[in-house]
Each structure stands twice: as structure tokens, then as C-alpha cells.
A and B are shown apart, each in its own frame.
Chain A
Amino acid sequence: MASRIRIRAQLKDDYCEVKALMRHPMETGLRKDQSGVAIPANFIEDVQVVHNDAVVMQAYWGAAVSANPFLGVRFKGGAQGDVVKIIWRDNQGDSGSGETTIR
């Protein structure tokens, strides 16, 4: 249950609907901890949705996005059994990915 990305990809009418939940603190860099020390900025900067081997969506995120971002994307051209993958990279160089097959 503790994987860093949860993904669901479902074929609907003529498009594929992807929903994903990413585990990430998305720290803005403006918050302070209890002892008053600034918490360093730590947020996802780049996120990609990959269908088979092609990038179908790429987004540049910033500190305004909430913690544990929830992403919804629709794209055309998917078929049942295809692999959908989500990859993110944050400002500290950390990255995460997860994949599923289209249902």
C-alpha cells in the first residue's frame, strides 16, 4: 500500500482516462518547522505520462501544487493491455515512477 504512485487507466468511449495519486510532500520552501527553521523547498518539477513508449503529457509543476498531488489525464489512442507509466522528478533530483495496464 505504500508505493509512491498509484495509477489507474481505464478505457472509456474513445479515450483512455488515467488517474494517479503521487506521494510527495510538495514543500513550498516558505514553511517553517516547530522550531522556526525554514523547511527546504521540495516539490515535483516535471511529470510525464507515458503511453507504451511515447510521452502523451508532460507538465512543469511548482510549489503551488498541493501535497500528494492527484492527477487526471485523458488521451486518445490507448488500447486495453497497453502500459501507462507516470514519471516525476523533483527539485531535489529525486524521482519516482509507477505503471499500470489499461483496463
Chain B
Amino acid sequence: MSKGFFSGLLATLVGLWSFTAISETDGVFDEYRELMGDDNPAIFVIYDGEEIWFTPAGPKSVSLAQCDLGLGPGVVEGAYAQLPRYFSDAQRVQDIEARLEYCMTHLQGRSPDKVRANAYSQRGELGTELEALVAWIADQSSGLTIAPAQAHAKERSAYTLGESLFYYRAGPHDFSCATCHEQTGRRIRLQALPNLTTHQGAAAAYSTWPAYRVSQGIVRTMGWRMRDCMRQQRMPELIMGSEASVALQTYLSVNGAGGSMAAPGLKR
């Protein structure tokens, strides 16, 4: 007991108790988030991401420290809030995932297929390199204004394309993104649905991804969210960093522009 004496102790432990109230918001999950305060298990993933960024990898054995996320090689702070954007070296509009894939293949010499195949955690996995990197990079924009670039013609056409994909109905259920996300104050089962066609809804959603998913115990990215929405729409699998994924994220980030980044978020 020499050094271990203590005069104050506070333990906070948060678990889901029972359903108590149901509202048009996230209901009991809002209470959960409030109990967590500034705490987010994503902190551990953020540390991993920072470490990975500076660790040499791939056939060329170089780190990502010279990767240009849009604000110049190696500049991470504030970069996420301005994505997706046009990159002249890649000659296309890229989100964080397409950009990281570009840096991993061009700087580190890694195979794009492998990068994509291991992008998102599979069932039972405890987080991937890409998820950790995105968590850290997004955290480096926390509190900053969502300000995706829209100066380049390709950035503007990515928005227009994203909008038309948002309303594209197909598959056995005739679903589109709009089926669930063009009305305000609705929910699916108990899950509140943001209206992504409005600034308020899009900003609330866009600013809180990537997010630690309590139900999955891992950080998920906005790109993963796009893929999973497509799965729920009964569509095939959306490719990470693909034109459709980037366009949809452009649609959301531009609609949410002016909002304040608060990622990694905390979600059910």
C-alpha cells in the first residue's frame, strides 16, 4: 500500500440498461451518448492510426508521412473536413479511402486489390489498418468546418452524380437512399433517420462519421456506411473508393457544408 493509497475514486461504466423512452431522436441512445460525455472507445483506434501513418510499409518500405490528403504532402490537420476533392495526380475526385488507397499503392507500392480486400473489418475482426487511419485523420479535423472543395468542374459533377445516385431506385425492393433519407423526423424500427437532403440532416450525419459502433465494437468509416446502406437496399457490394461511393459522399458533404466535424462519432 506504499504508493497505492488514494483519496478519490470515480468509476464510470456505461452499459445499456433497458428501453425507457422512445422519441423521434435516437431515444435511449442519446442518453447513452450523454453518459459517455467526451469518452469514446475510438481513442484507442486513433492512436493506432497515428502509429500506422508513420510506420514504413509495403514493398517500398516507406510510411504515409508524404501522402498528400489535399493540403500538401504530410498535412493531416484539417484535411478530412475538405474531402472529397479533386486530385490532379489521380485525375479524379477522391474521398479519404480512395486517397489512402492511392498513397498506399503509389507511395508504398502495395497492391490496390489487397488494400481494398482488407479495407473494412469482417465479422469478428477488431479493426483494420484503414479504419484506424481514417479514425486518426478524421480526428485531426475535429471541430473544423465541413468545407468540401467544389471549385473544380469534376467536384461539381461528383455532386450532381451523387444526387442522382441518391434517388436511384433499383433492386427487388425498389429502394434508393431517398427511401429512408428524404424525410424529416422519421425512423426505421427505433433508429432515427436523418434527412440527408437538408443541410441540418446531412451535417449531423456527415460530421459524425467515422464512428465507433458500440454494437460492433469497432470504428466504421463513411465509405463503409455507404456500402452497408447499399446492402440494406438489396444492392450488390459497393467498392471502396469507387466513383459511386465518392459521389454519394460528395453529395452528403456538400449538403452538410458549414457544419462542424465531430468525428470519430459514437453510434449504436
Contacts and interface: CB of A to CB of B under 8 A. Distances in A.
A68 B16 CA distance: 12
Interface in B1-31: 1, 3-17
B3 A19 contact: no
Interface stretch (B38-46, B109-117, B149-157, B199-207): B38-46
A56 B36 CA distance: 22
Interface in A52-72: 52-57, 59, 61, 64-72
Given A21-B44, A54-B3, A66 B127 contact: no
B9 A56 contact: yes
Contact of A1 (B14, B15, B132, B214): B132
Given A6-B44, A19-B39, A65-B15, A74 B3 contact: no
A19 B40 CA distance: 10
Interface string B73-102: 000000000000000000000000000000
A76 B6 contact: yes
A59 B13 CA distance: 10
A73 interface: yes
Contact of B17 (A56, A64, A69, A74): A64
A1 B3 contact: no
A78 B114 CA distance: 45
Contacts of B48: 1
B39 A70 contact: yes
Contact of B12 (A26, A61, A72): A72
A26 B217 CA distance: 12
A77 interface: yes
A75 B126 contact: no
A75 B6 contact: yes
Interface string B126-157: 11000010000000000000000000000000
A72 B11 CA distance: 6
Contacts of A54: 1, 3-5
A53 B15 contact: no
A52 B15 CA distance: 28
A8 interface: yes
Contact of B16 (A52, A61, A66): A66
A56 B15 contact: no
Contacts of B127: 1
Nearest to B51: A1
A56 B6 contact: yes
Contacts of A8: 43-44, 47
Contacts of A69: 13, 15
Given A69-B15, A82-B3, A75 B41 contact: no
Nearest to B37: A72
Interface of A: 1-2, 6, 8, 15, 19, 21, 23, 26, 51-57, 59, 61, 64-77, 79, 82
Given A52-B4, A61-B13, A73-B11, 9 more contacts: A56-B4, A56-B6, A64-B17, A68-B214, A71-B13, A72-B11, A73-B12, A74-B9, A77-B7
